[in-house]
Amino acid sequence: MTITKQRLDLLTEIQETPEEYIPELLNFVRLFRQSMMVKNTSINAWDNAINQINNSNQNQEKIKQLFDSWANLDSENEQKETLKVIESLENVSI
């Protein structure tokens, strides 16, 4: 495994962090990693949905299914982000 300069820089910063701040830093790093995983999962799911819509002759039905699944999302913030993406697409109206 190759250690990149950025990884070495990160490890150096961690080593230079006072011991009393390590628990907070650990929580921050864990939350950051988890949020990136969720974000990537959401982006991949959205890209998949758009591809299904674009590759279908039944666009209206696919869009209805997408909105039905969208209504069941856990987070209001996810719904707002999805709406922004939909509104940014050309040739799609709500």
Q: How far apart are CA 89 and CA 64, in angstroms?
A: 16
pLDDT in tens, 26-53: 988 888 888 877 776 777 777 777 777 6
Residue numbers of the chain with a pLDDT score lower than 70: 1-2, 40, 53-54, 56-60, 62, 70-75, 79, 89-94
Selection from 78, 89, 79 nearest residue 51 by Cα: 89
Q: What 3-state class would DSSP assign to 20?
A: helix
Give residue 19's pLDDT: 94
Residue 66's nearest CA partner among 84, 89, 41, 83 is 83
Cα 72 to Cα 19: distance, rounded to the nearest angstrom? 43
